[in-house]
């Protein structure tokens, strides 16, 4: 139990924490301490074993500082971060191999040379003389010897583990020729039958990737010489799987590493791979019939590519009915996808007329509703298909509109777009309908009522849990722009849409304009939103429901996005009468709702967005006049909070003093001097803001002094 407790405690130190600018984790301090100890030959073994234990327990995280990385830097061949000599380092490495074999394997793989290897210094001792007086240079002879020793150790530990052999094979093109020959000699001598089928396949795949990489770029400086490539090819042929499907299923991948393609590029290479796939399905059919092709479909990475190759092959002429019967409409995704690929492959050879002619074929009547619906899905997404579909039964019609893909369907006519939106809505695909309308919004400019109806459906679907708003994303903002531009949807309905879709508009360039206008024009609406966010003053706290929390979040987001206060026109001019009326009305309503202090604070935060005056001092004269008449500490405190909230995050060096704050101090002090004779209370508020930033400036100056002292100490 004690050991388990210790292990759990160690794992906890890898917990990441982050703020807006940085990430941290408690484990980094432990790594630096062990890295420091590793500089001493006396403590190298202990620190290495502890780091290896941490590497075994490490759950991973966002920080790049990991125990295995520390081990790599300590033992790195050409840049060791320890004063222990080579012999001791190898002895300690062998100790790690015995105690932590899995970590040791990963470490040795990372120690070998690579094309883009870099070294980073580890933590160094400050109070011990464990460092050499001068930086030592590692001679090439020593580097060469260590590479040889590590490769021999890897070959001792690799066994018949296919994943480990894959690690070794991926290192081959960075190894010196002697070590390259040692590894490939072992591959040429070892019996492939000593591996189980999965491990053998891993070795074969790693060799294929390496061959493909070097055969594609024969003129590159880093390409292996012809003799080395020939050795790799011999290894590759030895480890070819005996299973006929495993020999070929690698072809059916979108990341196909194709060694036989040579130095071909682009469309030429695609055609070569295409022909190889066709040849593969024909060979499998000759060897095991249609059943072997079905097995390939189930095992391939991309079953669609199997279907395409089959559709383009000679097999399709006699087996189309049997294949489609077993694949089309299947509940197994791989089979269904292969059927779509088969129809595409056949159509690319035989044309669209062949695809349409299937409806009059002998096996059409045998197909289920699901198979017929999937067939229609494979047809062109156009009016001809939909008209033919209308002649089918309701079940086929329903299945089609539930399953057909929509986006990227070419240049559709406005009437087609209306038809698609109506069908998607009819069958409950609201998210898809919204995304489609946003994509084709220019075609739907003349049907705002249809767009509004779909958005109403989205609101109803969200309320019933049937619609995921996270999938609506960008499209909603674009559709609201469309509705507003149409001038055919009244403001109350637009305001309703903005309210319900408010969380989505936060990430869109379109703010909730109608709601903002309503807030600025209608004090009653402002109070409704405020009540969602704050309880009445003096009320006892009550347990909030999920619905209450959601509404409060909406209210908070709306206030946060509101930047143009009452009385400020679009051109930036100010209407003092409207400002005074709005503030007086809100305060009166707030008092009757026991929210007087809360409302004053919120009003103040909003007024912090007011423009500057004609004398270039902030705030504008109308707001100064209002503050002089109101004599409200709560509103003025709200203004101070609003100014702070409107400040952006600053970036500064660790030694920078409070220069930025000093600029703000002087700015508001100058405002106070301008206003002190005509607006004394507002001038007092400016002095208060200036004094607040004065405190911030002193704090930053103190921090800069501390940082400078710490820097001196560390030197």
Q: Which residues contact residue 700 at a Cβ distance below 8 angstroms, ignoring those fewer than 6 apart? A: 652, 656, 657, 658, 660, 661
The pLDDT, as a whole number, for residue 465 is 54
- Strands 23-24 and 17-18: what pairing? antiparallel
CA distances from 505 to 112, 429, 463, 554 (A): 51, 21, 18, 11
Distance between alpha carbon 407 and the CA centroid of its chain, in Å?
22
- % of the chain at pLDDT higher than 70: 88
pLDDT at 710: 47
Between 302-316, 564-578, 646-660, the lowest mean confidence (pLDDT) is in 646-660
Predicted pLDDT at 473 = 62
pLDDT value at 701 more than 80:
no
Dump pLDDT digits (tens) for 465-499.
Answer: 556 666 666 678 889 989 999 999 998 899 988 88
pLDDT at residue 99 greater than cutoff 70: yes
Distance, in Å, from the CA atom of 111 to the CA atom of 75, rounded to the nearest integer, reads 7
Instruction: Tell me the average pLDDT of the chain.
Output: 86
- pLDDT at position 17, please? 67
Mean pLDDT of 447-461: 88
Residue 64 has φ and ψ, to the nearest 5°, of -80, -15
Q: Using the predicted structure, report yes or no on whether residue 21 has a pLDDT greater than 50.
A: no
What pLDDT is attached to residue 470? Answer: 61
- Across residues 269-296, what is the average pLDDT? 92
What pLDDT digit, counting tens, does each position of 131-147 carry?
766 666 778 888 889 99
Q: For 328, which DSSP code?
A: T
- pLDDT at residue 464 greater than cutoff 60: no
> What average pLDDT does this structure show over 36-61?
90
Q: 17: helix, coil or strand?
A: strand
Assess whether pLDDT exceeds 90 at residue 635.
Answer: yes
Q: Please tell me the predicted confidence (pLDDT) of residue 270.
A: 85
Residue 252, SS3? Answer: coil
* pLDDT tens string 369-391: 999 999 999 888 888 899 999 88
How far is it, in rounded angstroms, from Cα 229 to Cα 232?
Answer: 5
pLDDT at site 258: 81
Q: Span 171-192, mean pLDDT? A: 94
pTM for this prediction: 0.70
Span of 127-131, 194-198, 452-456, 634-638 with lowest mean pLDDT: 127-131
What local confidence, expressed as pLDDT, does residue 661 receive? 80
The pLDDT of 414-423, averaged and rounded, is 92
What is the average per-residue pLDDT within 585-608? 93
Closest CA to 50 of 65, 63, 62, 33: 33
């Amino acid at each position: 139990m004690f050991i388990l407790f210790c292990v759990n405690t160690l794992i906890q130190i890898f917990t990441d924490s982050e703020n807006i600018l940085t990430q941290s984790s408690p484990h980094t301090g432990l790594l630096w301490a062990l890295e420091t100890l590793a500089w001493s030959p006396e403590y190298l073994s202990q620190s290495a074993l502890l780091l290896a234990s941490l590497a075994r327990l490490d759950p991973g995280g966002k920080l790049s500082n990991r125990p295995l990385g520390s081990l790599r830097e300590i033992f790195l061949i050409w840049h060791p971060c320890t004063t222990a000599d080579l012999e001791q380092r190898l002895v300690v490495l062998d100790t790690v191999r015995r105690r932590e074999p899995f970590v040791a394997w990963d470490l040795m793989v990372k120690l070998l040379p690579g094309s883009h290897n870099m070294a980073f210094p580890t933590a160094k001792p400050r109070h011990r003389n464990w460092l050499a007086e001068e930086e030592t240079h590692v001679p090439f002879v020593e580097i060469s010897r260590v590479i040889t020793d590590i490769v021999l150790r890897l070959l001792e530990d690799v066994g018949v583990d296919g994943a480990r052999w894959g690690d070794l094979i991926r290192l081959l093109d960075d190894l010196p020729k002697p070590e390259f020959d040692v590894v490939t000699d072992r591959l040429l001598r070892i019996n492939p039958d000593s591996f189980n089928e999965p491990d053998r396949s891993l070795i074969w795949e790693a060799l294929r990737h390496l061959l493909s990489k070097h055969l594609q770029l024969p003129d590159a400086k880093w390409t292996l010489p012809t003799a080395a490539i020939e050795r790799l090819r011999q290894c590759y042929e030895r480890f070819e799987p005996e299973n006929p499907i495993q020999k070929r299923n690698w072809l059916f991948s979108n990341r196909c590493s194709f060694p036989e393609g040579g130095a071909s590029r682009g469309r030429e290479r695609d055609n070569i791979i295409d022909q190889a796939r066709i040849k593969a399905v024909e060979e499998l059919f000759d060897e095991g019939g249609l059943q072997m092709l079905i097995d390939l479909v189930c095992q391939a990475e991309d079953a669609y590519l199997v279907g395409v190759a089959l559709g383009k092959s000679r097999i399709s002429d006699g087996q189309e009915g049997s294949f489609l019967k077993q694949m089309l409409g299947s509940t197994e995704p791989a089979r269904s996808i292969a059927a779509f690929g088969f129809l595409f492959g056949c159509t690319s050879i035989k044309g669209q007329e062949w695809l349409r002619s299937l409806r009059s074929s002998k096996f059409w009547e045998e197909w289920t509703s699901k198979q017929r619906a999937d067939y229609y899905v494979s047809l062109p997404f156009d009016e001809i298909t939909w008209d033919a579909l209308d002649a089918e039964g309701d079940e086929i019609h329903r299945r089609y509109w539930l399953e057909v893909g929509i986006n990227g369907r070419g240049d559709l006519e406005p009437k087609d777009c209306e038809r698609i939106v109506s069908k998607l809505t009819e069958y409950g695909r609201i998210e898809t309908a919204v995304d489609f309308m946003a994509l084709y919004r220019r075609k739907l400019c003349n049907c705002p009522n249809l767009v509004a109806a779909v958005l109403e459906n989205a609101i109803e679907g969200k309320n019933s849990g049937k619609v995921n708003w996270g999938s609506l994303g960008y499209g909603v903002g674009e559709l609201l722009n469309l509705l507003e531009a149409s001038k055919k949807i009244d403001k109350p309905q637009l305001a309703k849409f903005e309210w319900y879709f408010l969380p989505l508009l936060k990430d869109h360039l379109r703010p909730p304009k109608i709601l903002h206008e309503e807030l600025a024009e209608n004090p009653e609406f402002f109070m409704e939103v405020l009540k969602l966010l704050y309880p009445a003053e003096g009320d006892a706290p009550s347990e909030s429901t999920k619905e209450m929390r959601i509404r409060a979040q909406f209210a908070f987001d709306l206030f946060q996005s509101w930047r143009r206060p009452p009385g400020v026109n679009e051109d930036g001019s100010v209407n003092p009468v409207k400002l005074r009326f709005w503030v007086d009305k809100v305060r009166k309503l707030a008092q009757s709702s026991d929210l007087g202090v809360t409302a004053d604070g919120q009003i103040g935060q909003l007024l912090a967005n007011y423009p500057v005056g004609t004398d270039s001092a902030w705030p504008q004269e109308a707001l100064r006049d209002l503050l002089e008449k109101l004599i409200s500490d709560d509103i003025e405190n709200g203004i101070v909070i609003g100014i702070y909230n409107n400040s952006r995050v600053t970036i500064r060096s660790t030694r920078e003093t409070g220069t930025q704050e000093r600029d703000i101090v002087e700015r508001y002090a100058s405002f106070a001097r301008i206003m002190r004779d005509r607006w004394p209370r507002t001038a007092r508020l400016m002095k208060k803001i200036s004094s607040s930033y004065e405190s911030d400036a002193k704090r930053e100056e103190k921090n800069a002094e501390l940082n400078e002292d710490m820097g001196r100490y560390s030197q």
